[in-house]
Structure 1
């Protein structure tokens, strides 16, 4: 071997230099998911020439190295590289792709506050992105991020937008995969669902083995949920070579766990235990995935069934730790999205049920070994009663707070109603007076909303109102006040916001509303909004005066053509002057 290595190191056996590095890197990037092993070989081939590459090619190579590290499960190494690319490369396309990859890292590492902030930023600049490839990439990662927050409808919407904006060289594989994944996460998918079958067929024909494997694993999950363990096992055997060839950590771990679950359903405890232990062996330090939790649950059930109390207890402790981490993760996401509250309650009840079973097993073991410790049984039972009382008191208190909150919210859109908005706005403006802060009031009115109700029905009108609220919320902070004044009229109070920033936020809202489509009887309809803005630096802190100036600006926007933003003061006069000039020129 030493002789062979020395011979290969001679100049006659050296790899020829790459003639066109930029084209070489583009080709390597296109093979990431189609032929991952070839992608890795191409990276290894170009590494010796890294120092001789141009600056733009060096940044491109760093991006591909970061992507490969994430693929292999090493996101900690990739994050600093992605920040460098975003801050220093100066390449808009590369910055957008690096930002999208960073969004995946933040979401995977459960840094939801940072992930949602970055997602909101990327969504806000989405209307400005004209490059089809960048827009496609951003939409796919946005769909993945909101899916983590259990926002199924929004995740499907982003995936469909990506499907409608497929750039040259791409296929519908990833958008269809994201739609199927979001529907599965929202418990809207069955093993026979056409969305899943279509995604599998398209990704198979597109030769995207990694994405296809993800769809097969979802189908296996559905088979297991439907107690079709035979089909699940047959499919696991079928995709085993593809999983090993792709060598994607998440898929290999999921493959072993699903095999363990399938064996357990089939009654083959020995093989189920082997597969579960294989999954634990390949897991990485600090991995808190649900897949490992499922593996520990399989081992717990096997040891419990075989009467191995101590082993069952040990596996259950691992399961409980992972389950607690998972519950905490759901709670963190629920801070941004109310949809996760019910899911958190269900998981908490499941954890309590398994915890009670574990306490009973432990008490039985203690009673057989130490009769003198029978008092622990009474203590444990007392703790169970106490926890139950505290739990129900907590639920009662939360229900009271929920009812109080609902009295302040609009029944359709779940934002502040007219009365609550005015009261809170008065209070916030009074606090701003004391510290000489600045605020902006935005009045929003949907254009021709009555025509939408008359032409398509009030049900679609309600959908338009809800969609408007979702769009506005994506551009607001937690400190801002958002309310529905009635009908199609909304109002936003931006706290500690200068006029220029308020104008920018209002304009982004208007642009996103204009670009939004709503499905109506097989067709897509668009809608727009007129906005008026007033600020405390010109209108003062009196809510009545501030509202009047914002309404005046809004009416000016309506009179001058709709679907526009007009600010109070000079901008209102200018808008009206422009409209008067247009009428004069027409005459």
Structure 2
């Protein structure tokens, strides 16, 4: 939703006229940008031969419209250069505000998030000096979009509401209502019955701004899907299909197809779901990465998996994983850029305060030389203030470091807990379980002949096997279970509140699913297997080290007895074999 909002800068339309008044002609052209884009482009072509006789202000206005057109057509590098020239050289406050707002969007499109958030902070600080209604409205709407893009929901809503109070003549409330609803949706604060959503739909429809209205209708369809009302979502998608086709706005064309696939999947119509999902892929670019494509590949993966097409399912799962990784990396990049921009702004404020305080001290020294004692006391107060400011800054820095530390708890290849984090969390969980006299099972998993897979097919396929193993295991685990990679091809699962029989059953389901899983190799497919050992607290106690030791002992027994089996440690020489 944040990406959909970037280029939707629309004003009421006018019909093209002869160029008797160039200034009025440019204003009319600007108002048609998205209302009637073909007419807008035609008017630009009509006035360009007249450029030499335009006044300096009109020439800058024309250059602004050219930059907007370049950005609309995806030529971000050229438009960025033109926006900088307008900001630095035009001297027109209205054009500078508009160009600054669009430059903000341009930087975000190119994922230059640090520069974008730094510019957003600068524009936010300049708002009190912006008096022109159109300039202020442009800055407020672009700031709302940028902060929504940075997942700062409260600030995005705040700026959208400020824009609602600052709508200039000739504009409707469609855009600020749209921005507020979009921010609430991205912040997971919107339902299909929310008044903000219905208000945006009604106002944008009445204002005849179809791109904004279509965006809100698609949000409503997505909410119907999330609320398990796929039939309502399909009816709504059929209702807006013609408008989406006419507007020809790529994000809406893509999202409407993906939502249609999700709705059909929920209704159990796999054929139509697959058709809609493949239609979405057909209009996407090969290198596209987006949350919509991630959802699309997930639909295709679920369909192929249900139909038993393991090779196709694995292929779509790999695409889904790549899209998910790109999406998460992009979210982290935005969050990190926002935090860095905030830290930089804080440092600038501290530096400004420090310089201000130094100037105050110098002034006091020049004017109050006779009052040395009072001056000394003032130094102490100022130093205390600086110290407090530094302490606050260090506190914020430490908080940022703790956030990054959380990301270090996961295994880089598989995305599950690494050895240290798993043992730490498992130890704590067992201590709590012992206090309430619960029971748990520990499953040790080791892939059979994994070294042979690496030696024969290469480490890339070995990594794919590890990822596939993790995906298989996660299908059979609950949210409260702990899952970690101990190293190499060894994994460990702690099943909380799970009896021995349940643990053996879960372990055997994992083993059977791994055995049935196929991985693509050159010239065909390859299967692999795993041996599993199970230990339970009813015999091994609640000490993690003892549980691991008993589970490993059972695992090695499984290896010795032919591999691809589940054996539980019984505390004696007897074996309990789940595969028997």
TM-score range (shorter-chain normalised) is: 0.5 to 0.7
Shift of 1:127: 0.3
Q: Distance in 1 between matches of 2:376 and 2:143?
A: 37
Please name the residue that 1:78 is paired with: 79
Distance 1:145 1:54, change over 3 A: same
Q: Distance in 1 between matches of 2:73 and 2:281?
A: 17
Q: Distance in 2 between matches of 1:115 and 1:17?
A: 39
Q: Distance in 2 between matches of 1:74 and 1:174?
A: 24
Distance 1:35 1:301, change over 3 A: same
Does the 8 A contact of 1:120 with 1:475 survive in 2? Answer: no
Does the 8 A contact of 2:17 with 2:25 survive in 1? Answer: no
Q: Aligned-pair RMSD on alpha carbons?
A: 3.4
Please name the residue that 1:318 is paired with: 319
Does the 8 A contact of 1:253 with 1:279 survive in 2? Answer: yes
Shift of 1:125: 0.7
Q: Distance in 2 between matches of 1:191 and 1:41?
A: 40
Q: Can you give the 5+ residue segments of structure 2 that lack an aligned partner in the other structure?
A: 1-15, 367-371, 386-580
2:381 counterpart (545, 548, 560): 548
Does the 8 A contact of 2:261 with 2:273 survive in 1? Answer: yes
* 1:101 partnered with 2:102: yes
Shift of 1:277: 2.4
Q: Distance in 2 between matches of 1:187 and 1:87?
A: 39
Please name the residue that 1:494 is paired with: 351
Please name the residue that 2:31 is paired with: 30
Superposed CA deviations along residues 317-376 of structure 1, whole A, max 9, x for unmatched, are 2221221111112222333567x9xxxxxxxxxxxxxxxxxxxxxxxxxxxxxxxxxxxx
Shift of 1:79: 2.2
Distance 1:224 1:65, change over 3 A: farther
Please name the residue that 2:276 is paired with: 275
Shift of 1:475: 9.5
Superposed CA deviations along residues 366-397 of structure 1, whole A, max 9, x for unmatched, are xxxxxxxxxxxxxxxxxxxxxxxxxxxxxxxx
Please name the residue that 1:62 is paired with: 63
Please name the residue that 2:345 is paired with: 477
Please name the residue that 1:579 is paired with: none
Q: Distance in 2 between matches of 1:543 and 1:103?
A: 47
Please name the residue that 1:156 is paired with: 157
Using structure 2 for the length normalisation, give the TM-score: 0.57
Distance 1:497 1:223, change over 3 A: same
Q: Distance in 2 between matches of 1:86 and 1:315?
A: 46
Please name the residue that 2:295 is paired with: 294
Does the 8 A contact of 1:37 with 1:246 survive in 2? Answer: no
Shift of 1:211: 1.1
Distance 1:291 1:69, change over 3 A: farther
Does the 8 A contact of 2:30 with 2:65 survive in 1? Answer: yes
Does the 8 A contact of 1:140 with 1:175 survive in 2? Answer: yes
Please name the residue that 1:110 is paired with: 111
Shift of 1:543: 11
Does the 8 A contact of 1:256 with 1:276 survive in 2? Answer: yes
Q: Distance in 2 between matches of 1:538 and 1:247?
A: 68
Superposed CA deviations along residues 494-550 of structure 1, whole A, max 9, x for unmatched, are 2796449x99xxxxxxxxxxxxxxxxxxxxxxxxxxxxx65899699x997545258
Question: Tell me, what secondary structure is at the counterpart of 2:169?
Answer: coil
Shift of 1:24: 1.6
Equivalences for residues 441-456 of structure 1 within 5 A: none
Question: Tell me, what secondary structure is at the counterpart of 1:494?
Answer: helix
Question: Tell me, what secondary structure is at the counterpart of 1:150?
Answer: coil
Using structure 1 for the length normalisation, give the TM-score: 0.56
Distance 1:309 1:55, change over 3 A: farther
Does the 8 A contact of 2:133 with 2:167 survive in 1? Answer: yes
Shift of 1:109: 2.8
Distance 1:169 1:330, change over 3 A: same
Superposed CA deviations along residues 202-228 of structure 1, whole A, max 9, x for unmatched, are 111111111111111111111111111
Q: Distance in 2 between matches of 1:536 and 1:299?
A: 71
Question: Tell me, what secondary structure is at the counterpart of 1:169?
Answer: coil
Q: Distance in 2 between matches of 1:101 and 1:198?
A: 26
Does the 8 A contact of 2:113 with 2:338 survive in 1? Answer: no
Shift of 1:37: 3.8
Q: Distance in 2 between matches of 1:109 and 1:336?
A: 13
Distance 1:61 1:308, change over 3 A: farther
Superposed CA deviations along residues 223-242 of structure 1, whole A, max 9, x for unmatched, are 11111111111111111121
Distance 1:272 1:246, change over 3 A: same
Q: Can you give the 5+ residue segments of structure 1 that lack an aligned partner in the other structure?
A: 1-14, 341-472, 481-491, 504-532, 553-587
Shift of 1:479: 3.6
Q: Distance in 2 between matches of 1:151 and 1:131?
A: 26
Please name the residue that 1:221 is paired with: 222
Distance 1:275 1:477, change over 3 A: same
Shift of 1:142: 0.6
Please name the residue that 2:22 is paired with: 21
Shift of 1:115: 0.8
Does the 8 A contact of 1:33 with 1:209 survive in 2? Answer: no
Q: Distance in 2 between matches of 1:167 and 1:158?
A: 15
The aligned length equals 363
* 1:191 partnered with 2:192: yes
Does the 8 A contact of 1:66 with 1:82 survive in 2? Answer: yes
Shift of 1:139: 0.4
Please name the residue that 1:205 is paired with: 206
Equivalences for residues 303-452 of structure 1 within 5 A: 303-335=304-336
Q: Distance in 2 between matches of 1:159 and 1:243?
A: 25
Q: Distance in 2 between matches of 1:253 and 1:48?
A: 38
Q: Distance in 1 between matches of 2:73 and 2:262?
A: 25
Does the 8 A contact of 1:209 with 1:246 survive in 2? Answer: yes
